[in-house]
Structure 1
Amino acid sequence: MIRTLSGDIQKTELGFTYSHEHIVCRPPYWVEKKEDDLLLDDKEKSLKDVMDFKNMGGSTIVDATAVDYGRDVQSIKYISEQSGVNIILTAGFNKSFLWKAKLPDHLKEAIGDYTTYEDWIESASIDQLTAFVISEVENGMEGTPLKAGQVKFGTGYNSITPLEEKTLRAVARAHHHTKAPMHSHTEAGTMALEQIKLLKEEGVNLNYMSFGHMDRNLDPYIHEQVADTGAYLSFDGISKIKYAPESARIQAILELVSKGYENQILISGDTARKSYYKHYLYGLGLYNIIGNWVPRFINEANQQGFDGETLINKFFIENPAHCFSFKE
C-alpha cells in the first residue's frame, strides 16, 4: 500500500514517479532571510510545471517538504486535484539550522506555544516528537485530514547535531509504529554512513529507507557502502549542473548498476527554487528530467552495453513502487 494525498493506492497504480521534489512551500527560515528564490509561493505556477510533467507521461510526485520547511498541504491538494497527479506528502523534519526560525502560529495549537522550531524540538521528548510524526501519518497534517505517505529526518554538512539525532530517533520510532517508508536529507551527500549507524541502533530495516542527495557526493565507495545495506539511493539533483555535470551523475548511476544495485536507485530533481521552475523564472522545470534527461540516459546506457529503457523503468516505476510502499 502507498499513501498519497488522495488516498491509499496499490503499487501498480503509482506509475512514472519523481521521488524527491518540492511543489509549494514557504520555509520560515528563508522567509525571515528574505530569500525569495527559495519560496515556492504561487500554486498556479507550480501547477503549470506539474502539468508539464503530467503531459509527458508522469503519474506521481513525492513532495519531500517536511513541517519545518513551510509545507502547504492545501495548495498541494489543489494541485493534485487539478492535475490528476498522485502526490505523496512527508512527515518528520529537515535539518537543524532551519529550526532557528519562528514557529508559525497555526502549528502552536498542535504542538505547544513555543517560539521557534528549535525550542520545540529541544523541549519535547523523543516520545513526544514520535507521537507528532505518527499523527501526521495516521490522522493528518496541520489540522487537516490529509495524511503523509513517508517519514523524514535530516542532518547537516559533515555533522549530526544532538537535535538532529533526536529527530532521527523519533522518526525511526514513528516508522516502526506506522510502517511508513523513511527518507533522509543528507546535506551535500554527507553523513549517510553515520545516519545508518544510528538507524541500526533503532532497529530499522534499511530496505525501507531512502537516502537523499546521493549525487551531491559522487563517491562510488560511499554509494556502494550505502547500497550494500539494502537502502535506496536518491539521485535527486538532476538538472543542477552547478553541482556536477549530468555525465558524472550518469556514470555514478551506471557504476552502481554494474555492481548489481539497479533495484535501489531513485531519480528526481529536488526542484526547490523559483529559478529551477519553468513557470516561475524560466528554469528547466519539472519537464527536464522526463523530457530531456531520460532520453539522454537511455542513449548513454545503451552505448555502454546496458538496457537503458529497462533501467529507466526501474528507476522511475518499479523502484519507487517498492520504496514508497508501507512495510507489510
Structure 2
Amino acid sequence: MSFIRTLDGDIRPEQLGFTYSHEHIVCRPAYWAERGEDDLLLDDPEKSRRDVEDFKACGGRAIVDATAVDYGRDVPAVYRIGRETGVRIVGTAGFNKSFLWNARIKEELKPVIGDYGTYAEWIESRSINELAEFVVREVEEGLEGTPHKAGQVKFGTGYNRITPLEEKTLRAVARAHHETKAPIHSHTEAGTMALEQLELLRSEKVDLRHVSLGHMDRNPDPYLHEQLAKTGVYLCFDGIGKIKYAPESARIALILELVRKGYEDQILISGDTARKSYYKHYDYGLGLEYIAAKWLPRFKNEAERAGFDGEALAEKFFVRNPAACFAFKR
C-alpha cells in the first residue's frame, strides 16, 4: 500500500498532481531573526497565501514544504494556507544543518522537546534513538504538538563537511524512516557531501530509492550527478530562478544530460523560495508562479529542440516523480 501524507491527511499518490518538491511557505528561522536578516523571514502568512494562490492559478496542486523544526516553522499558518487555497501541502519532520542550531529554541517548542537553550544543546543531549523517536512522533502524531503530520523526514549537512551532530541527526532520521516508512530528504550545502551522505545512509541500511537530495543544481557537475543517480536516489533541482548561482541554461543542460543518460524518472524540480525577495507578494520577486508559468515553457522548448518530448518530461518531473518519491510504501 502506498500513500502520501499531507498536512490535511493521507491521499493516494495519484491525487497529488502538479507538485513543487522543495519550498518554504511560512517560517521565521531563529538563527536569522537573531541576526536581523529580515529577508530570510517569511513572516506574513497572508502574503505567502497570495503566492500559493498564484501557483494554483498556474496549475499547481501540491507543495512540499521542507521547513524543519530548527527553521522556524509555523505549522498552523501553513495548514490554513493549504485549506484556504486547496493546495495540498506536505510537511517535514527532522532537522536542517548544524550552524543553524546555534539559535535559541523558541518558547513554544519547550513543551515538545524540553527546556534547552539552543538546538545544538538539545541535539547534543539526546541519543540517536531519542532524536529518532522525536521524528517518529512528528510523522505519526503531528508536527510540534499539532494534529498535522509530516510527510517526509529530513536531515542536512554543511559545506564540504559533515559535523558529528549532523551525522547524529542523519542517523536519527534514517531510523525514523525505517519505523515510519516516510521518504527521506537531504539538504546538501551548495550540493556538496551528497555521496558521503549516501554512504552513511547505507550504513543505516536505507534503500536509497526512498531518498531525495536537495540543491543538486548548486553543484553543476554532470559526472557527480550520474554517480548519484546510479544509486537510485532522486535529484532535486530546486534553485530554479536563482540566476545569482547559475543561468537557467546551465540548470536545463544538467537536467537534460541526466535525461540523455536515462535518469528522467529520478528528477524533481522546485525553487526553494525561502526569502522575501524571492516572493512576488513580499518583495516583488519572481514568486511561486515563476516555474510553472515561465520556466516550464522554456524547458519544454529546449527539451523539444534537443530531441525529447518536453510535455512528457514535464509530466514526469512535476507529477509522476513526486507521486513516487513522496509516497510511504508499506
Task: Name the residue aligned to 1:142.
Answer: 144
Structure 1: distance between partners of 2:211 and 2:107: 32
Task: Name the residue aligned to 1:59.
Answer: 61
* 2:50 is aligned with 1:48: yes
Structure 2: distance between partners of 1:280 and 1:110: 31
Aligned residues of 1:208 and 1:327 also touching (Cα < 8 A):
no
Q: String of CA shifts for 1:84-115, please: whole Å, max 9, x gaps.
A: 00000000000000000001111111111111
Task: Name the residue aligned to 1:177.
Answer: 179
Task: Name the residue aligned to 2:199.
Answer: 197
Structure 2: distance between partners of 1:100 and 1:185: 18
Structure 2 unaligned residues grouped into runs of 5+: none
Task: Name the residue aligned to 2:298.
Answer: 296
Structure 2: distance between partners of 1:98 and 1:296: 36
Structure 1: distance between partners of 2:283 and 2:114: 38
Q: Equivalent of 1:308, from 307, 310, 320?
A: 310
Task: Name the residue aligned to 1:23.
Answer: 25
Q: CA deviation at 1:80?
A: 0.4
Structure 2: distance between partners of 1:86 and 1:110: 26
Task: Name the residue aligned to 1:236.
Answer: 238
Structure 2: distance between partners of 1:80 and 1:117: 28
Aligned residues of 1:233 and 1:265 also touching (Cα < 8 A):
yes
Instruction: Normalising by structure 1, report the TM-score.
Output: 1.00
**Structure 2 counterparts to residues 106-255 of structure 1, below 5 A:** 106-255=108-257
Q: String of CA shifts for 1:135-161, please: whole Å, max 9, x gaps.
A: 000001111111000000000000000
Q: Equivalent of 2:76, from 74, 78, 85?
A: 74
Q: String of CA shifts for 1:170-224, please: whole Å, max 9, x gaps.
A: 0000000000000000000000000011000000000000000000001011101
Q: CA deviation at 1:327?
A: 2.2
Q: One-letter code of the match for 2:66?
A: A
Q: Any idea what SS the aligned residue of 1:149 has?
A: strand
Q: Any idea what SS the aligned residue of 2:286 has?
A: coil
Aligned residues of 1:40 and 1:273 also touching (Cα < 8 A):
yes
Structure 1: distance between partners of 2:133 and 2:317: 33
* 2:261 is aligned with 1:259: yes
Structure 2: distance between partners of 1:207 and 1:120: 31
4+ residue stretches of structure 1 with deviation over 3 A? none
Task: Name the residue aligned to 1:2.
Answer: 4
Structure 1: distance between partners of 2:58 and 2:213: 27
Structure 1: distance between partners of 2:102 and 2:329: 34
Structure 2: distance between partners of 1:112 and 1:275: 34
Q: Any idea what SS the aligned residue of 2:329 has?
A: coil
Structure 2: distance between partners of 1:142 and 1:193: 31
More divergent stretch after superposition (157-166 vs 141-150): 141-150
Task: Name the residue aligned to 2:99.
Answer: 97
Q: String of CA shifts for 1:265-317, please: whole Å, max 9, x gaps.
A: 00000000000000000000001000000000000000010111100000000
Q: CA deviation at 1:122?
A: 0.5
Structure 2: distance between partners of 1:105 and 1:310: 48
Aligned residues of 1:298 and 1:312 also touching (Cα < 8 A):
yes
Identity across the alignment (%)? 71
Structure 2: distance between partners of 1:286 and 1:105: 31
Aligned residues of 1:183 and 1:211 also touching (Cα < 8 A):
yes
Structure 2: distance between partners of 1:325 and 1:191: 25
Q: One-letter code of the match for 1:139?
A: E
Q: Equivalent of 1:274, from 273, 276, 295?
A: 276
Q: CA deviation at 1:231?
A: 0.4
Aligned residues of 1:190 and 1:217 also touching (Cα < 8 A):
yes
In the alignment of these two chains, the number of paired residues is: 328
Structure 2: distance between partners of 1:69 and 1:157: 18
